[in-house]
């Protein structure tokens, strides 16, 4: 299995990171994709990647919650310099978040568009963070439509129409703990979306699946998410594992 979205480098894991990673490895998780947040955590992310070659892969990008008026242009410059220095499997996580701060919509949109332009120019997938912003995100994606524009809607929690729209734009859906929530809703319609468009993620340390809901999430819980897909798609666990792994490898070009 591949955890396509896990922030294992954040301080929530400072006391037991090695044990957390060992637990995940022992459950058969073979790769972990680390989405960037901002310059404050780049070093920790890149250090973790260096410790686990071939297992941990850092993305690069500026998270929409960290697009702030006084720093965002500098932050984007830094992202760009990292992208020029070496290869990354994806630009992420990027997007629009109107839950935490809707006063920055304009600069969030600009930062998102800039990073999409880089992804197209570098032929890289993007990993999208969208919170209370589906319309705004779709608007940007439709404006930027390009054969090379592709990637993952991370932590997808929209409805069937939004799922179809995302897939229609060439994106896969990152499915995490929300699929196990009683009120998560996506479990009701997910089977309408081909399994070839689904990748697994935990979004650790956030959004832990049931029965760990509300506690710290970790990559070893990925099997609980895959287990839920066993019910939704009426397929064996090994089949869910195989197909979602192939999907992730294809997206990230590994």
Gap between the Cα atoms of 124 and 247, Å rounded: 15
CB of 208 to Zn ion, least distance (A): 14
Binding site for Zn ion (CB under 5 A): 35, 93
200 contacts 244 by C-beta, under 8 angstroms: yes
CB of 8 to Zn ion, least distance (A): 11
Which C-beta is closer to Zn ion: that of 1 or that of 34?
A: 34
Which C-beta is closer to Zn ion: that of 27 or that of 131?
A: 131
Gap between the Cα atoms of 60 and 108, Å rounded: 16
Element holding 243 (H helix, E strand) = helix 237-252
Which C-beta is closer to Zn ion: that of 206 or that of 233?
A: 206
Gap between the Cα atoms of 234 and 84, Å rounded: 44
Which residue from 165, 181, 174, 236 is spatially nearest to 203, judged by alpha carbons?
174
Which C-beta is closer to Zn ion: that of 75 or that of 93?
A: 93
CB of 177 to Zn ion, least distance (A): 12
Residue 49 contacts by C-beta under 8 Å, 6 or more apart in sequence? Answer: 34, 56, 57, 58
Cis, peptide link before residue 205, omega less than 30° from 0 = yes
Per the listing, tokens 């890289």 go with: 124
Count Cβ atoms below 10 Å from residue 154 Cβ, excluding itself.
26
CB of 93 to Zn ion, least distance (A): 5
Which C-beta is closer to Zn ion: that of 59 or that of 141?
A: 59
CB of 69 to Zn ion, least distance (A): 22
CB of 237 to Zn ion, least distance (A): 25
CB of 63 to Zn ion, least distance (A): 7
Which C-beta is closer to Zn ion: that of 35 or that of 177?
A: 35
| DSSP conformation class of 96 | E
Tokens of 138: 């779709």
Which C-beta is closer to Zn ion: that of 162 or that of 202?
A: 202
Element holding 232 (H helix, E strand) = helix 222-233
């Amino acid at each position: 299995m591949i955890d396509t979205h896990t922030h294992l480098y954040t301080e929530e894991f400072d006391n037991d990171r090695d044990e957390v990673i060992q637990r995940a490895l022992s459950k058969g998780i073979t790769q972990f994709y680390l989405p960037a947040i901002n310059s404050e955590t780049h070093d920790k992310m890149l250090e973790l990647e260096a410790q686990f070659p071939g297992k941990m892969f850092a993305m690069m990008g500026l998270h929409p919650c960290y697009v702030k008026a006084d720093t965002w242009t500098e932050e984007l410059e830094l992202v760009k310099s990292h992208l020029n220095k070496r290869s990354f499997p994806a630009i992420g996580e990027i997007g629009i978040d109107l839950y935490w701060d809707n006063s920055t919509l304009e600069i969030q949109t600009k930062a998102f568009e800039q990073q999409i332009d880089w992804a197209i120019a570098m032929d890289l997938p993007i990993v999208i963070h969208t919170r209370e912003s589906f319309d705004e995100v779709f608007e940007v994606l439709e404006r930027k439509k390009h054969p090379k524009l592709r990637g993952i809607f991370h932590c997808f929690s929209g409805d069937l129409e939004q799922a179809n729209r995302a897939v229609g734009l060439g994106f896969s859906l990152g499915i995490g703990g929300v699929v196990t929530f009683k009120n998560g809703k996506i479990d009701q319609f997910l089977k309408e979306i081909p399994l070839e468009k689904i990748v697994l993620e935990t979004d650790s340390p956030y959004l832990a699946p049931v029965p760990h809901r509300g506690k710290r999430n970790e990559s070893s819980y990925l099997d609980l998410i895959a287990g839920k897909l066993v019910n939704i798609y009426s397929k064996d666990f090994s089949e869910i594992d195989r197909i979602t792994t192939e999907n992730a490898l294809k997206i990230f070009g590994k």
